[in-house]
Structure 1
Amino acid sequence: MTKVGPVSDSWKVTLPCTRAEAERLKGDIAAFAALDMPPVLMTSEVDGGAWRLDAYFEAEPSKADLALLRTLVSSAAGTATAVERIGDADWVTLSQAGLEPIRAGRFFVHTPTHRGKIPTDAVAFEIDAGLAFGTGHHETTTGCLIALDRLKAGGAVFANIADIGTGTGLLAFAALKLWPVARAIASDIDPIAIEVTAENAAINRVPLGQGPGQMALAVAPGLDHRRLTARVPYDLVIANILAGPLIDLAPDIAAALAPGGRLILAGLLDHQAPRVLAAYRRRGFAPAGRIDRGEWPTLVLRRRPRFG
């Protein structure tokens, strides 16, 4: 998603939802990933224990947009959809005002509106909402941050890291903070996501480059780019995508990861985890940890040292 400022025709759609739906709607929604201008979704608790969804659009939402929102909040069936033209407003700033910071292990992820709330013991990152997928507010991203934190706490050391499907760059930033002399590369199939990652790297003072302590960038489907293949083998790969692509990428990731290396997989639902895990077991991986965040598990795998 491109970065926007004040626009002349912003819109907000409001629907009631359940608490369970609100938990699922925090942050990144894969159903909107293909849109040129996906909305920013914000859920909040209102009076009496009820919950609601506010979706911010850059332009008047279409019937298809409204229908998609209703599929995400099936509990709203039979209720009216409130569609409001905001007018000349910075819709990203409006939506960010309601996005509370996220604490995941030692990490603290916040929008610009919460710069003054950073805990003294936290590793903080500032990530704008609405720029790309991966703000830290979705359970998949939070799960990956917790997985990284636990690997560090367990004494793991990595020198060559790849973040596949990086979104905003957040997970690559976190990995470099934990292992500051490592070489890292972040890739995404969406060139806008890589532009956003570069912007976020500057905001968070993450150096770009090819050397130790620096992060390289690549626009690539999976690992299909010379910058990625030139760095093989990796000792840590992070892939927060979707279950189908994760299964498809199993052969490439197995070929790119060093024996004994670690793999963090996310973007899958709980019922999809057995199929994803099976695809990687066949390629010589063994489970090494799991973080459950609602119905979104994060899998930590280890490539067995002796696998042909």
Structure 2
Amino acid sequence: MRLLRCTQLDGQTIAWNAACMAQSWKLTLPCTRAEAEAITDDMGALALLEPPPALMTSEAEEDNPSRWQLHAYFEGKPARATIKLVQSMLPSAADAKPQLERLPDEDWVSISQQGMEPVVAGRFHVRNRAEDMVPGGLVPLLIPAGRAFGTGQHQTTSGCLAMLDRCRNIGERFGAIADIGTGTGLLAFAALHLWPRAYATASDIDPAAVDVSAQNAALNGVALGFGRGELALCAAPGVDHPLIQARAPYELVIANILAGPLIELAPALCAILAEGGTLILAGLLDEQADAVTYAYRAQGLRLVDRIEADDTQGRHWPTLRLRKRPAIGWKRPRRADFGAHGEAPGFGSW
């Protein structure tokens, strides 16, 4: 049996929910590969649960699309109605007996990620175990498995690393950097390595992710603070935080989140971006790229580069690099919505 994917609200392969931690329950049901892909692409009513379950699908029988299984992880024992709801989303499991078990009080996010192979993206070597060897000539980054998204394994994160590396290779210079939706802090660390004299700011909507980023900063020798070469952290939805706004405008903004938040946050992200500044976007599927690009074109940005990455299911995950036209000044608040929280119907939310 091999792990294929885990999902969050809009079905993109982003991260495990924090529900996978202490006092978790696991519901297991058989399914087909088609059903597995459908439920992880659209959680439907499951996304409305508080907190929503974390879903993991895998092959029960190798190379047999009719023999897959779904594991749904819940914080607390799921009600009978919840189990029936999950089962109703898997037609082939209509007559199956649900398997429900309480898990030991362990961090199942970390356990699920242990043993992942290191990732090389551009000049960066990202590992989740300190004992893994780092080949010569690469920049080592240690991101232990944990509660936040951004260990480098997913195509969206590695795509951003590759795009940052490409920016450095073509001679881009940034003095002020913001990483919105930082997760583990990985992309902010990489950016500070490439531009070590920059003022850097990183935020996440989840305070736990900010704590994780602070811990990872210590592991990677990244100083926290507000000076050059230091990283300032805060918990915020979108750019709705005094720290983020006070340190604007930024010459480089990175946002690796989801298509929905990217669309809704377009005015706010454009507002904190300096004239001529660079914006790197990821967390979207190929079929969502046009809608995301249009949202930023309407704010005065133009697409200048794109990196494609495919996952094991043949889906395309583009990383977009856009530049802000000088005609659009950052101090034009009539187009900005600093209270945007990342909601866009049909594209998911964070």
Fold shared, TM-score > 0.5 on shorter chain: yes
- Say if 2:131 is the partner of 1:110: no
Partner of 2:145: 129
Partner of 1:256: 272
User: For 1:260-279, what aligned pairs fall within 5 Å after superposition?
Assistant: 260-279=276-295
Provide the identity percentage. 48
- Say if 2:322 is the partner of 1:305: no
Answer yes or no: is the 8 Å Cα contact 1:140–1:266 preserved in 2: yes
Q: Given residue 299 of structure 1, which amino acid in structure 2 is its aligned partner?
A: L
How far the C-alpha of 1:77 sits from its partner, in A, is 6.1
User: For 1:1-308, what aligned pairs fall within 5 Å after superposition?
Assistant: 11=26, 13=28, 36=51, 39=54, 41=56, 47=62, 60=77, 64=82, 85-87=102-104, 91-112=108-129, 115-293=131-309, 294-307=315-328
Answer yes or no: is the 8 Å Cα contact 1:287–1:299 preserved in 2: yes
Q: Given residue 275 of structure 1, which amino acid in structure 2 is its aligned partner?
A: A
Corresponding residue SS for 1:200: helix
Corresponding residue SS for 2:247: coil
State which structure, 1 or 2, has the greater radius of gyration over its C-alpha atoms: 2
Over 3 Å counting, the alpha-carbon distance change for 1:128 and 1:64 in structure 2 is: farther
Corresponding residue SS for 2:305: strand
Answer yes or no: is the 8 Å Cα contact 2:28–2:69 preserved in 1: no
What's the C-alpha RMSD, in Å, of the aligned pairs? 3.7
Answer yes or no: is the 8 Å Cα contact 2:19–2:75 preserved in 1: no
Over 3 Å counting, the alpha-carbon distance change for 1:307 and 1:205 in structure 2 is: same
Over 3 Å counting, the alpha-carbon distance change for 1:196 and 1:94 in structure 2 is: closer
Over 3 Å counting, the alpha-carbon distance change for 1:56 and 1:97 in structure 2 is: farther
Partner of 1:28: none
Q: TM-score, normalised by structure 1?
A: 0.79
How far the C-alpha of 1:250 sits from its partner, in A, is 1.6
Over 3 Å counting, the alpha-carbon distance change for 1:143 and 1:33 in structure 2 is: farther
Q: Distance in 1 between matches of 2:60 and 2:32?
A: 10
Structure 2 residue runs of 5 or longer lacking an equivalent are 1-16, 41-45, 310-314, 330-350
Matched positions, count: 299
How far the C-alpha of 1:221 sits from its partner, in A, is 1.8
Q: TM-score, normalised by structure 2?
A: 0.70
Answer yes or no: is the 8 Å Cα contact 1:12–1:86 preserved in 2: no
Q: Given residue 316 of structure 2, which amino acid in structure 1 is its aligned partner?
A: E
How far the C-alpha of 1:164 sits from its partner, in A, is 0.7
Q: Distance in 2 between matches of 1:18 and 1:123?
A: 38
Moved more, 47-56 or 227-236: 47-56
Moved more, 60-69 or 84-93: 60-69
Q: Given residue 109 of structure 1, which amino acid in structure 2 is its aligned partner?
A: V
How far the C-alpha of 1:100 sits from its partner, in A, is 2.3
Q: Distance in 1 between matches of 2:87 and 2:229?
A: 41
